[in-house]
């Protein structure tokens, strides 16, 4: 095979580069995926902005940790996996060792050997899916998509899996008569709204600074939309008869949104911060409701990804996708930084 286009991180604190590199060949145990689409996640902007040394990754590597496509070539030793060439697949993003107790239960997001691995997954230290083809190290990291179109399914593996994991652990709190808040209705947040509506009876309240994002939230099923700001927590208390929300999912993670989260949470609630904006939440008597629990979850497990795909196959969740050409990756990241993407942008190779 010949060359392909790839979007590579070549320097810290610089935009990525669109370059030509050889099409890789799958080694023993590996699978070569023909990429249908790769989601453009806000985490990549953090990765690009953080100074050298923050992450243990060697440069360059191909970006794209939210990837879907078709099995193109099964590497030696993978023919017994049940996968066939042409199958539509989703790439599970956090690549662990595959063997430790966390990986054994499918929680490769919390692989116990992560510090030794140097890369968190394809697109995060190892070559990812913003290319025409991508190597996946093992068939275990591929989830069959069945009839779902891989061009628009890519966001399921991060924008949906991350809030799915975050919401699922709080479902026992979301009984009838309760409310859940989603702060930041971007790629993750618009899926979080849909997931909350699909999984439970709680009223869903969406918060964002941008009115078009609140429109997207309403379209995704939010019961109430509240503009972000200092009075957002009070608005949420009014909407919940003064009780507050049993789950606040902060998909931004800035000082301001965490303050809103603390102000909007009920007693015995979960304040779950998935956004990585680097904010701080004071944790002491008087700053949080009684028995509120604060947690920072990372991504989700392989079994949970299969559950997310099942929800999408049943038509219960559907990513709102903007298709952009792979060649326009740098421009698409710029649009994301400026808040000008609705839902999730997916980069699609030509042909």
The reply to whether 48 sits near ligand NAD by the rule CB under 6 A is no
Q: Where are the alpha helices (DSSP H) in 118-253?
A: 150-153, 161-168, 187-199, 211-219, 232-239
Question: Among residues 36 and 217, whose Cβ is nearest to ligand NAD?
Answer: 217
Q: In whole angstroms, what is the distance from residue 40 CA to residue 334 CA?
A: 11
Angle subtended at Cα 327 by Cα 124 and Cα 125, rounded to the nearest 5 degrees: 10
The reply to whether 183 sits near ligand NAD by the rule CB under 6 A is yes
Encoding tokens for residue 220? 């995704």
With CB under 6 A as the contact rule, the residue among 129, 184, 244, 319 that binds ligand NAD is 184
User: Considering CB distances under 5 to 8 angstroms, the limit depending on partner class, which of Zn ion, ligand NAD, none binds residue 208?
Assistant: ligand NAD
Q: In whole angstroms, what is the distance from residue 198 CA to residue 193 CA?
A: 9
Question: Among residues 4 and 182, whose Cβ is nearest to ligand NAD?
Answer: 182
The reply to whether 50 sits near ligand NAD by the rule CB under 6 A is no
Q: In whole angstroms, what is the distance from residue 140 CA to residue 90 CA?
A: 11
The reply to whether 207 sits near ligand NAD by the rule CB under 6 A is yes
Question: Among residues 42 and 173, whose Cβ is nearest to ligand NAD?
Answer: 42
The reply to whether 188 sits near ligand NAD by the rule CB under 6 A is yes
**Diameter of the chain measured on Cα atoms:** 63
Contact mark string toward ligand NAD, 212..231, x via CB under 6 A: -x--------------x---
Q: In whole angstroms, what is the distance from residue 5 CA to residue 23 CA?
A: 9
User: Considering CB distances under 5 to 8 angstroms, the limit depending on partner class, which of ligand NAD, Zn ion, none binds residue 97?
Assistant: Zn ion
Count of C-beta atoms within a 10 Å radius of residue 337: 14
Question: Among residues 23 and 117, whose Cβ is nearest to Zn ion?
Answer: 117
Enumerate residues 236-295 that contact ligand NAD by CB under 6 A: 251-254, 256-257, 274-277
User: Considering CB distances under 5 to 8 angstroms, the limit depending on partner class, which of Zn ion, ligand NAD, none binds residue 252?
Assistant: ligand NAD
Residue 284: which residues within 8 A CB-CB, separation 6 or more? none
Contact mark string toward ligand NAD, 147..176, x via CB under 6 A: -----------x---x--------------
Angle subtended at Cα 11 by Cα 114 and Cα 52, rounded to the nearest 5 degrees: 55
- State how far the alpha carbon of 244 is from the alpha carbons of 7, 164, 323, in Å: 43, 22, 37
Question: Among residues 240 and 257, whose Cβ is nearest to ligand NAD?
Answer: 257
Encoding tokens for residue 76? 């030696």
The reply to whether 201 sits near ligand NAD by the rule CB under 6 A is no
Q: Residue numbers of the site for ligand NAD (CB under 6 A)?
A: 41-43, 46, 158, 162, 183-189, 207-210, 213, 228, 251-254, 256-257, 274-277, 298-299, 336, 339
């Amino acid at each position: 095979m010949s060359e392909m286009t790839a979007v590579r991180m070549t320097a810290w604190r610089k935009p990525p580069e669109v370059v030509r590199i050889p099409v890789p060949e799958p080694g023993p145990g590996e699978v070569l995926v023909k990429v249908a689409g790769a989601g453009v996640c806000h985490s990549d902007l953090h990765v690009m902005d953080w100074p050298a040394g923050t992450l243990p990754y060697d440069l360059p590597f191909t970006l794209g940790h939210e990837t879907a496509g078709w099995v193109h070539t099964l590497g030696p030793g993978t023919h017994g996996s049940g996968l066939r060439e042409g199958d539509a697949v989703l790439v599970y993003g956090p690549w662990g060792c595959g063997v430790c107790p966390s990986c054994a239960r499918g929680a490769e997001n919390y692989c116990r050997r992560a510090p030794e691995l140097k890369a968190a997954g394809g697109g995060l230290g190892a070559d990812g899916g913003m290319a025409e083809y991508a190597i996946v190290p093992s068939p275990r990291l591929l989830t069959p998509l069945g009839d779902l179109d891989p061009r628009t399914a890519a966001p399921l593996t991060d924008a949906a899996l991350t809030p799915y994991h975050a919401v699922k652990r709080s479902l026992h709190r979301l009984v009838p008569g309760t409310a859940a808040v989603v702060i930041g209705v971007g790629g993750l947040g618009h899926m979080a709204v849909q997931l909350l509506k699909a999984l439970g009876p709680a009223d869903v309240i969406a918060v964002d600074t941008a009115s078009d994002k609140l429109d997207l939230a309403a379209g995704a099923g939010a019961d109430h939309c509240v503009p972000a700001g200092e009075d957002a927590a009070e608005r949420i208390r009014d909407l919940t008869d003064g009780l507050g929300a049993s789950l606040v999912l902060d998909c931004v993670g800035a000082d301001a949104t965490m303050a809103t989260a603390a102000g909007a949470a009920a007693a015995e609630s979960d304040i779950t911060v998935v956004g990585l904006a680097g904010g701080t939440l004071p944790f002491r008597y008087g700053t949080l409701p009684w028995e509120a629990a604060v947690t920072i979850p990372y991504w989700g497990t392989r079994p949970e990804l299969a559950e997310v795909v099942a929800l999408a196959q049943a038509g219960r969740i559907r990513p709102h996708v903007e298709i952009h050409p792979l060649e326009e990756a740098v421009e698409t990241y710029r649009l994301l930084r400026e808040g000008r993407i609705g839902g999730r942008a997916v980069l699609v190779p030509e042909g």
